[in-house]
């Protein structure tokens, strides 16, 4: 079953066609990664899927029961995390994670028990609970990233879109992030991530290969055709090999 479908998406920014002819189906309960060279339109595509970027064509959510969802319904169903988000330095870690509960809270009401639980769970999942009273501005890049991750998880949405979620994370926390995504997928949630580390993307279920604003290939990670498409868009400067029961991208020297 599909979670997100697009029909002939196109985006023009300034005079440049950033995306064109995007027809994709993203499957429910799967982790899909978007890979491609710099400037290939990955971030823009993710923003279009999240409804944050105006575009031609249509994005539909077949699993969503309401035809014309309100802003808040949509925000409960789909959570988005941008890359390198600045700001919020004055807020405490806990307050930042609580922002993820905005779609669930009624106007003016104080956070409910459920909101507090969701925030606690999210902060514990990203190992940020211990410094929940610190300010966002006092944290290192990696710590900040984990708080922003918790903010997205606190939404408890069906679909999670993440743009470069691994930036600033050290290897152990990258592994933590992998477990986190696996856990979301085990709960039948749909995860879409833009990743620049190809080896990380090769651990997902399905891969979208982008180049020059177009989808070059969509396929399973184990598929040889997918590997060839990835190698091609990166100018055959990397090679995908099977090492220790998984696929890794190695630089060609």
Partner 1 sequence: MLLLLTLCLVVLYWGVSVGSAGFVNLGSMPNEPGLAAIVFDIRLPRTLGALCCGALLGLSGALAQGLFRNPLADPYLLGSASGATLGVAAALVAFRVSPSAGHWLARLGLTGAAFIGAMVAVLLTLALARGFQHTFRLLLCGIVVGVVLGALCSLTLLLDPQVLQSMQTFMLGSTSYVGWNSVIMMAIGWLVCIVIAVPLGRLLDGLSLGESTAISLGLNIGFLRAVLVCVLALAVGLSVAQTGLIAFVGLASPHLVRSMVKVTHAHLLLISSVMGAALLGAADVLARCLLAPRELPVGVLTAVLGGGYLLWLMQKRQFSSTGGES
Q: Can you give the binding site for partner 1, defined by CB under 8 A? A: 47, 50-52, 70-76, 78-82, 85-88, 90-92, 95-96, 99-100, 102-103, 107-108, 133, 135, 148, 151, 155
Q: Which is nearer to partner 1, 51 or 57 (CB)?
A: 51
Q: Which residues, listed in sequence order, are joined to residue 251 by a DSSP beta bridge?
A: 238
Nearest-approach distance from CB 104 to partner 1, in angstroms: 10
Nearest-approach distance from CB 153 to partner 1, in angstroms: 14
Q: Which is nearer to partner 1, 9 or 50 (CB)?
A: 50
Nearest-approach distance from CB 146 to partner 1, in angstroms: 14
Q: Which is nearer to partner 1, 29 or 111 (CB)?
A: 111
Nearest-approach distance from CB 145 to partner 1, in angstroms: 13
Q: Which is nearer to partner 1, 44 or 226 (CB)?
A: 44
């Amino acid at each position: 079953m599909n979670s997100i479908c697009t029909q002939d998406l196109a985006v023009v920014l300034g005079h440049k066609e950033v995306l064109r002819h995007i027809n994709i189906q993203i499957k429910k309960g799967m982790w899909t990664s978007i890979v491609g060279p710099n400037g290939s339109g990955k971030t823009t595509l993710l923003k279009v899927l999240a409804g944050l970027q105006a575009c031609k064509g249509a994005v539909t959510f077949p699993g969503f029961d309401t035809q014309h969802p309100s802003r808040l319904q949509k925000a409960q169903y789909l959570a988005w995390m941008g890359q390198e988000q600045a700001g919020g330095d004055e807020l405490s870690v806990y307050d930042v994670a609580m922002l993820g509960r905005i779609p669930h809270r009624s106007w003016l009401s104080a956070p409910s028990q459920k909101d507090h639980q969701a925030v606690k769970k999210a902060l514990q999942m990203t190992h940020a609970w211990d410094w929940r009273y610190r300010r966002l501005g006092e944290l290192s890049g990696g710590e900040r990233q984990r708080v922003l991750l918790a903010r997205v998880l606190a939404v408890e949405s069906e679909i999670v879109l993440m743009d470069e979620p691994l930036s600033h994370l050290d290897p152990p926390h990258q592994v933590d992030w992998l477990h986190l995504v696996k856990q979301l997928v085990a709960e039948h949630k749909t995860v879409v991530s833009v990743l620049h580390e190809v080896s990380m993307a090769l651990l997902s279920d399905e891969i979208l290969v982008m180049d020059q604003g177009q989808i070059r290939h969509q396929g399973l990670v184990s598929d040889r055709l997918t590997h060839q498409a990835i190698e091609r868009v990166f100018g055959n400067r990397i090679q995908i090999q099977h090492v220790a029961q998984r696929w890794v991208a190695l630089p060609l020297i």
